[in-house]
Amino acid sequence: MKKTKILVLADHPLSPSGVGTQTNYFITALLKTGRYQFICLGGAMRHQSYEPVMIDPWGEDYRIVPIDGYGTAEIVRSVIQQEKPDVLWFMTDPRFYEWLWEIENEVRANMPMVYYHVWDNYPAPEFNGKWYRSTDEIVAISKVTYGCVTEVVPDGSTHYLPHSVPGTLFHPAETTEEKNAIKMLRDRVINSSVNYNNPNKKIFFWNSRNARRKQSGTLIWWFKEFLDEVGHDKAVLLMHTDARDPHGQDLPMIIDRLGLTDAQVLLSTNKVTPAELANMYRAADYTIGISDAEGFGLSTLESLTCGTPIIVNMTGGLQEQVTDGKDWFGWGIEPASKAVIGSLQVPYIYEDRISQKDFTSVMKKAIKLSKPKYEKMSQAGLQHIKNNYNFEDFENKWVKLMDEIVEKHGSWENRTNHRRWHFMEVA
């Protein structure tokens, strides 16, 4: 039986970004069926080589072509002509694909366009309406995203399918080896300070890109203010990120300027394996996510899957993770204000901004939480993950949805509801 070939546009599937990680999960879910194959234009990262690669153990069924950025119309035309894919699947912000929608008549004539939509926040993006209506199927990563899309195109074909992470990689410590690794890491972090030794010190973890909207620099500043109130021996902030980033801040300089030079804030900048990252979540008492805008928030989901409660800004998909409307799996901080930002590509978007006062208040509650209440919160978070972000459900839903899309829209050899389009090379 001929396999259904899917052309993927996204972050490089083997990159550490949330988009790249979820792209890889999506691909492997469908590969397990034995009925699909993939050609991926892997972008949004620095490449050591631009040679196409095949990913073990899938061989020809999982090929990645490294590209700069997110591709161009010319690249996609060339790949379509050569590969004749049955479906185009793409993911991340709409503004990265303006050129794609300019050629959508060409693309959709031969295959359906399926967009796994990342949107950061309200208000509903009316300016994306023309793009939404030029896409066969849209899949939303959060209820907020789903609400935004359906408000703009209520008659469109939109689905809700949130991210997930595999329990084989992220889970509470189970083996003796994992428990020993956690103890070693906690001891190392807690005992890094010369003057602020305290065996009961709480570890707060932050795992994200060093980008402005992620509030990496603000977090360090507010953490210092928090320590000034409760004592510098009460907690430590472990940040796994790039120390410096052109789209973020110079974190070592901020740490130095604020006088946090006795290991009150620790930077982890080396690339780590999923197992090593899982140990960081397990070693921490809480994981923080206070982005001004967040479509989903993969790091906080990974944290909950490891049994570690979260402290988050109640924005985007983060609000779905921290509470189910009844129980809480950490602390959600309501935005104290909103700002409207924008650009030529994105005319407007809200930024939900929490206050330093509210952040400090929650941090104080976190370090005082009793062990029984903490354990209850941790277990409730694990159950929340099982009920709403189960990885097997994620895989099964993607397989079912993609099968339905191919049946509904046809593919390269039997495309329905669209005029056939023949690609030609013109010298």
Helix ranges restricted to H, 258-340: 274-283, 298-305, 318-322
Q: SS3 of 49, please?
A: coil
Q: Which residues are CB-neighbours of 127 under 8 A, at least 6 positions away?
A: 346, 347, 348
Domain-located, residue 258: yes
Residue 300 lies in a domain: yes
Percent residues over pLDDT 90 in the chain: 73
Q: In this structure, what is the dihedral angle of CA atoms 170, 172, 176, 179, given to the nearest 10 degrees?
A: 100
Query: Residue 44: pLDDT above 80?
Result: no
**How confident is residue 427, by pLDDT bands cut at 50, 70 and 90?**
very low
Q: Say what the pLDDT of residue 238 is.
A: 98
Co-location of 136 and 180 in the same domain: no
The tokens describing 145, both together, are 């995203």
Residue 275 has what pLDDT? 93
pLDDT exceeds cutoff 50 at 421? no
Task: For residue 116, give the CATH number of its domain.
Answer: 3.40.50.2000
Domain range spanning residue 97? Answer: 4-164+390-409
Instruction: Indicate if 65 and 89 belong to the same structural domain.
Output: yes
Q: Are strands 59-66 and 53-55 parallel, antiparallel or unpaired?
A: antiparallel
Examine the domain organization and report whether 56 and 135 are in the same domain.
yes
What CA–CA distances, in Å, run from 23 to 15, 113, 164, 313?
10, 16, 11, 25
What rounded mean pLDDT belongs to the chain?
92
Among 8-17, 62-71, 277-286, 289-298, which range has the highest average pLDDT?
277-286
- Residues 235/197, Cβ–Cβ less than 8 Å: no
- Asked if residue 154 belongs to a domain, the reply is yes
Q: Which of 249-253, 338-342, 367-371 has the lowest mean pLDDT?
A: 338-342
Same domain, 84 and 121: yes
CA distance 31 to 63: 12
Query: Do 56 and 199 have their domain in common?
Result: no
Give CA–CA dist 208/191, Å, rounded. 24
Q: pLDDT at position 45, please?
A: 72
Same domain, 142 and 230: no
- What is the rounded CA–CA span in Å between residue 291 and residue 301? 14
Q: Are 81 and 56 in contact (CB under 8 A)?
A: no
Question: CA-based angle 380:384:387, to the nearest 5?
Answer: 135
Helix (H, G, I), strand (E, B) or coil at 391: helix
Edge to edge, the sheet with strand 310-313 lists 265-268, 235-240, 202-207, 286-289, 310-313, 330-333
271 and 340 in a single domain? The answer is yes
**Does 186 reside within a domain?**
yes
Quote the pLDDT of residue 348.
87
Domain-located, residue 119: yes
Same structural domain for residues 267 and 209?
A: yes
- Token pair recorded at residue 358: 């509210």
pLDDT band at 98 (very low <50, low <70, confident <90, very high): confident
Q: Are 194 and 108 in a shared domain?
A: no
Residue 417 confidence (pLDDT) = 66
pTM: 0.92
Q: How confident is the model at residue 106 (pLDDT cuts 50, 70, 90)?
A: confident
Q: Which residue has the higher pLDDT, 69 or 356?
A: 356
Determine the average pLDDT of the residues in 188-196: 96
Q: How many domains does the chain have?
A: 2
Is residue 421 in a domain?
Answer: no
| Position with higher pLDDT, 127 vs 332 | 332
User: Which of 427, 423, 426 has its CA nearest to residue 79?
Assistant: 423
Query: What residue type is assigned to position 102 of the chain?
Result: E
Mean pLDDT in residue range 371-388? 97
pLDDT of 411 > 60? The answer is yes
Least confident of 45-59, 271-285, 398-412: 45-59
In a domain, 95, yes or no: yes
pLDDT > 70: percent of the chain: 97
Residues 187 and 146 in one domain: no
User: Which of 328, 335, 295, 338 lies closest to 313 in space, CA to CA?
Assistant: 335
Tell whether the model's pLDDT for residue 197 goes beyond 80: yes
156 and 195 together in one domain: no
Residue 415 resides in a domain: no
pLDDT at 425 over 50: no
Query: Are the C-beta atoms of 366 and 285 separated by less than 8 Å?
Result: yes
Of 190 and 414, more confident: 190
Please give the DSSP secondary-structure letter assigned to residue 96: G
Q: Per-residue pLDDT for 310 more than 90?
A: yes
Residues 286 and 140 in one domain: no
User: How far, rounded to the nearest angstrom, does the alpha carbon of residue 319 sit from its chain's CA centroid?
Assistant: 14
- In the predicted model, what is the mean pLDDT of residues 145-172? 94
Type and span of the H or E element at 392: helix 391-409
Residue 62 three-state SS: strand
Across the range 49-58, mean pLDDT stands at: 88
Look at residue 67 in the predicted model and tell me its pLDDT.
86
